[in-house]
Structure 1
């Protein structure tokens, strides 16, 4: 059954959605088996809450606040309409719907950006320019745009059989670098072949993926909750930590393990989303934890396992505890 509140196919804001636009059929998927068999649906992920900080996984502290992603399902307009129809989520079976996460490093200066828009627009990096940029500028042939940055294939990463990607699980806990790798610089015409996303002037490459550094639940089912006056399906990663320090983003991918699509033996990625940046600190540098967000509190009422805090908890500096042992608190 479809939602009576029809949604325009595209638009960055509520204001933009008031103007009908033609649907983009490229993002629709037709299912041949499962709960959506015979239906054509577009799947959308929205990051409702990104992690802000975490502690390196020595004391097994999850990211805070817990990352939360909304799953939305739309059917295309009928023959005479210009509006998508959003499904009623109380009629959607959440069994088989899954969301997984991957971890990617990003430059340190991306943490603390004021808004997603500031991340999306090209920015001049605050770090020194590489030598070839300085040479071009001194010769009067300065580039029109700032150079692109990326993380080259680091020495801890293995190549797959084709020599073009990372073997999942190839990093052991002892091989994961403790801190951020060195940035590489590129001309805008020299993008790596495995580029999967761009944030400002920084390229996210599949070979820079550090998913083995994640600890805890890397996949989860959605929970049906009341959100902004309507039912919603939300994936929550309440038990996810990172083994190393640095600034990262998560890549979310949605699947339906019980639904099949024509001419494909594999379960397709129904939707993909790159989240906002967060920082993982050493225990000594960890600044403390903020009070739980309203969304986190709401999710806990529906049985989602999350940690609740009523007040800010500052990190105490490591010192000598009883018997001379080092100790710290949140």
Structure 2
């Protein structure tokens, strides 16, 4: 079975943006001195096979995960002669130890227009000097004037339940100093990160599966909900807890990826859930805990009192099949 994926949300590289200080550029080859990759130079790459499309805002009860569950492919390469035309050999994923290889997510707000528009992530160094103005979200934590007219900090969990107003970059103005990525006409800043609004498993290990006739490692985020309404993207970051790179004081981020946009609705506005994708069903056969639906389930809050008949299970199987 072929897995559908979007070519618009592939590997991006850039300097570290606040996860942990590191001397190595994320996404560039790294020489490891300990762990299963000791003595080898390794380059990592992530690819979003399936992005979330929608979710219902989680308050205190009845948490519903984002749907469909985000799924990200990890590729690792041995690098031997950097700069040559034949320099890399892909790792055999059946021979490496999965334990300790992790992927985590950060949450960033983006404009609603990115749901249907240009969501191709580009390094922030490609910001152009002319054309339509760029947008960005204000710094986080947000500042608001108090009764004396001076700024006061607002706790991350006291911010409005909807996204704040976008700021616009004036012509010829310098982009925010912490700009980490550009998507369409929007600049993503590290300080706009809303990861504390994520609930559920933000760190996951990969699952070894059959993908296009070969073994592959896929991270599946099947238990994530968001405590804010709005439009968002994920930043995925992969690392190995048991491998240390040369010159590093901690376990470096191997690679990162900015994914596709998705929408989180209020309970009243939530449109319902589509049937489970073929990818979600395939992953469930490898024991990945995901929710399966045989038919569309519409929201009763929108006047649709007759919900479609569904079959929802947290499903796992010991009889995997090739895609």
Question: Same fold, TM exceeding 0.5?
Answer: yes
Instruction: Give the drift of 1:234.
Output: 0.4
For 1:149 and 1:60, locate their aligned partners in 2 and report how far apart those are by CA, in whole Å.
Answer: 32
Paired residues for 1:125-204 under 5 Å: 144-154=130-140, 156=142, 171=155, 173=157, 175-186=158-169, 187=171, 189-204=173-188
Are 1:99 and 2:103 counterparts? yes
Spell out, residue by residue over 1:265-287, the C-alpha distance to the aligned partner (whole angstroms, 9 max, x if none): 12111101100000000111111
Unaligned runs of 5+ in 1: 1-11, 14-24, 122-142, 159-169, 322-327
Q: Is structure 2 residue 190 aligned with structure 1 residue 206?
A: yes
Q: Cα offset for 1:240?
A: 0.2
Evaluate the alpha carbon distance shift between residue 84 and residue 245 of structure 1 in structure 2; reply closer, same or farther with a 3 A threshold: same
CA distance in 2, matches of 1:68, 1:177: 29
> Cα gap change, 1:92/1:281 in structure 2, threshold over 3 Å: closer, same or farther?
same
Could you tell me which runs of 5 or more consecutive residues in structure 2 were left unpaired when the two chains were aligned.
1-6, 9-25, 124-128, 145-153, 311-323
Seen in structure 2, the aligned counterparts of structure 1 residues 221 and 171 have a Cα distance that, compared at 3 Å, is farther
- 1:231 pairs with one of 212, 215, 226: 215
Deviations 1:11-37 (A, max 9, x none): x89xxxxxxxxxxx9811100000100
Whether 2:92 is the aligned partner of 1:88: answer: yes
Deviation at 1:229, TM superposition (A): 1.3
Secondary structure, aligned partner of 1:32: strand
Distance in 2 (alpha carbons) for counterparts of 1:199 and 1:295: 26
For residue 316 of structure 1, report the CA deviation from its aligned partner.
1.4
Greater strand share, 1 or 2? 2
Q: CA RMSD in A?
A: 3.0
**Kept after mapping to 2: 8 A contact 1:171/1:212:** no
Where 1:178 maps in the other structure, the secondary structure is: coil
Q: Distance in 1 between matches of 2:85 and 2:28?
A: 18
TM-score, normalised on structure 1?
Answer: 0.74
Aligned residue in 1 for 2:34: 33
Q: Which residue of 1 aligns with 2:115?
A: 111
Q: Whose helix proportion is higher, 1 or 2?
A: 1
TM-score for both structures, normalised by structure 2: 0.76
Partner deviation per Cα, 1:178-215 (whole Å, 9 max, x = no partner)? 00111111135411111111101110001100000000
Q: What is the aligned partner in structure 2 of residue 44 from structure 1?
A: 45
User: What SS is found at the alignment partner of 2:181?
Assistant: strand
